[in-house]
Structure formats: C-alpha cells, structure tokens
C-alpha cells in the first residue's frame, strides 16, 4: 500500500513527465476516494481510511510556495505540478479555488511548469468542478470501460454512478481531456475482450479527447488474481484507438 504526504509530496523524477511535484488534497494518513478500484495502489478503502482533516486552500498555497522556494535554492524547477495522491482530488470541497491558487503560485515560481491532474472523472458532471479541471494543462481523466457491470466489479463506485452522465461530462470538456484507461486480465477482470472494447472505442470517438493514455498493472494490487496485459495486447488496443484518429500513448 502506498500513501503520500499531504498536501505536497515529491518531487518524483520520471522519464515520461520529468520532475513532477505532487499535490495531494487528501489527508496523509489514509485514502479518500469515490471509487474503490480492485487494483488501487493506495489499498482498498476499508483498509486505508483517512481520519485527518483535509488541507485548506491556504495550507496548499503556503506549502507549495515553501517547497518551490526550497527547490529553487537547489536549482531545481519542476516540469509538472500534479494533483494526485491518496484518492480523488476533486472530492475536496474547495477544489475550484485551490486550482486557482495553484495556478497563481505556478505563475509566480515556475511559469514553465504544466499543471496536471489524475482524476477518476466521478465529479466531471459538476459544472464548477469541470470548469476548474479545464483550467489545468493536463486533465487526465479515468475511463476504464463503459460497461456498467464491469465498473461495478472493478472500479467499484462509492455511491451513485451513471457512466452515461460521466461520458456527457467528459464530452463537455470540449476535447481538452486526456482519457486514461487501465487494461488488465486475470481471474477477476478482463477488459481486453470485444464485449468491452467495442463500446469503449465508440465512446472514445464521442468524447473526442485530446489524447488517450492506456496502461496496465505495474505494482502489487490489493485484490489477488489480476494480471498485466501483454505488450502485444496493449499495442493492439493502441492501434485501434489510433485508427479512430486519436493520439494514444501506452505504458506497459
Ligand atoms: S480512482 Fe485511483 S485512487 Fe481511487 S480507488 Fe481507483 S485507483 Fe485508487
């Protein structure tokens, strides 16, 4: 189980993103998410309950400034500031105002850095949240499948979830969103079959995202029996996405 500091963690150096500074709007002592994915690296919701308070907008701005000052002294400028961490960032009730504050701090300290988010898309139906997401350079939005029973089984929404409404919310992002999809197989789940792929591809065409990122399991999962999709399987899905005229990147 991986938990991140709050409200700022990292920086993390990655070949794909460069130097990424994380912004975790959830508490440091556990997870808070509107999904309970069987592959979640933060563990299952029941095993990782957050009890501490959420960071305030002021605390996020102050800690981000402090960290960027400290990095500047070391001659480090982040390439990207990423909303991610112990759950779903858009659940924070002040998410829209925090986005504006983070943009202000970025413009002040590291105007070249992009701002990204890893979101599970559950709050894209809320106009205020969606507008805030659209202020970000890279709104990376999860859509693992469009099959309601697979979502119930794998992403396991907490509370009401209507995939059709989520798709409409993603469409309302007017081509700005980046769709992120987990592909895997194994005893408990397999979204590589035609039953799942065909409707998923049709919805991608409808959403018309800026790009699509597909990935597979990389680390141990809280539910056993899940397997990585092979390079060949991932490449075959990517080719079908590209055949729709969309940009697709693959992480194995
Ligand atoms: S959406 Fe992300 S944080 Fe939430 S349960 Fe799924 S993998 Fe974990």
pLDDT at site 48: 87
Number of the ligand 1 atom closest to the C-alpha atom of 31: 3
Tokens 């409808």 belong to residue:
206
Beta bridge partners of 22: 9, 82
Categorise residue 175: left if φ over 0, alpha if ψ from -120 to 50, beta otherwise. left
Element containing residue 61 per DSSP (H, E): helix 57-73
pLDDT at site 188: 75
For 249, other C-beta atoms within 10 Å of its C-beta total 14
- Give me 171's structure tokens: 């469409």
- Give me 8's structure tokens: 């700022």
Residues of the chain with pLDDT below 70 are none
Ligand 1, pocket-test mutation among 37, 119, 179, 220, most atoms within 8 A of CB: 37
pLDDT at site 129: 98
**18 C-alpha to ligand 1 centroid (Å):** 23
Number of the ligand 1 atom closest to the C-alpha atom of 118: 2
pLDDT at site 120: 98
Domains of the chain from N-terminus onward? 8-251 (3.20.20.70)
User: Is the alpha carbon torsion for 45, 134, 140, 80 positive or negative?
Assistant: negative
Beta bridge partners of 128: none
CA distance 162 to 100: 29
pLDDT at site 36: 97
pLDDT at site 236: 98
Q: Are 201 and 245 in contact (CB under 8 A)?
A: no
Give the start-end residues of each E strand in 78-210: 80-83, 114-119, 138-142, 178-186
pLDDT at site 187: 76
Q: Would the pTM count as exceeding 0.95?
A: yes
pLDDT at site 49: 87
Question: What residue owns the CA closest to ligand 1's atom 3?
Answer: 87
* 6 exposure class (CB count in 10 Å sphere: 0-12, 13-18, 19+): buried
Find the residues whose C-beta lies inside 6 A of ligand 1.
33, 35-37, 40, 42, 87-88, 120, 142
């Amino acid at each position: 189980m991986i938990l991140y500091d709050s409200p700022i963690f990292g920086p993390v150096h990655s070949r794909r993103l460069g130097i990424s500074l994380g912004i975790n709007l959830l508490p440091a002592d556990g997870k808070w998410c509107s999904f309970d994915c069987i592959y979640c690296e933060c563990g299952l919701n029941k095993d990782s309950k957050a009890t501490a308070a959420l960071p305030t907008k002021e605390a996020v701005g102050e800690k981000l400034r402090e960290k960027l000052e400290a990095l500047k002294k070391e001659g480090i400028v982040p390439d990207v500031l990423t909303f991610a961490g112990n759950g779903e960032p858009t659940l924070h009730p002040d998410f829209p105002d925090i986005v504006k504050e983070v943009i202000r701090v970025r413009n002040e300290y590291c105007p070249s850095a992009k701002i990204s988010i890893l979101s599970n898309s559950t709050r894209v139906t809320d106009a205020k949240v969606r507008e805030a997401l659209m202020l970000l350079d890279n709104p990376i939005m999860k859509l693992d499948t469009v099959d309601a029973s697979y979502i119930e089984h794998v992403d396991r929404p907490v509370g009401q979830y209507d995939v059709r409404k989520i798709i409409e919310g993603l469409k309302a992002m007017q081509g700005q969103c980046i769709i992120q999809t987990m592909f895997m197989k194994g005893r408990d789940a397999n979204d590589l079959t035609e039953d799942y792929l065909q409707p998923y591809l049709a919805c991608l065409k409808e959403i018309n995202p800026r790009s699509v990122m597909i990935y597979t399991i990389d680390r141990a999962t809280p539910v056993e029996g899940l397997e990585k999709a092979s390079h060949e399987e991932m490449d075959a899905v990517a080719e079908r996405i590209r055949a729709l005229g969309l940009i697709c990147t693959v992480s194995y």
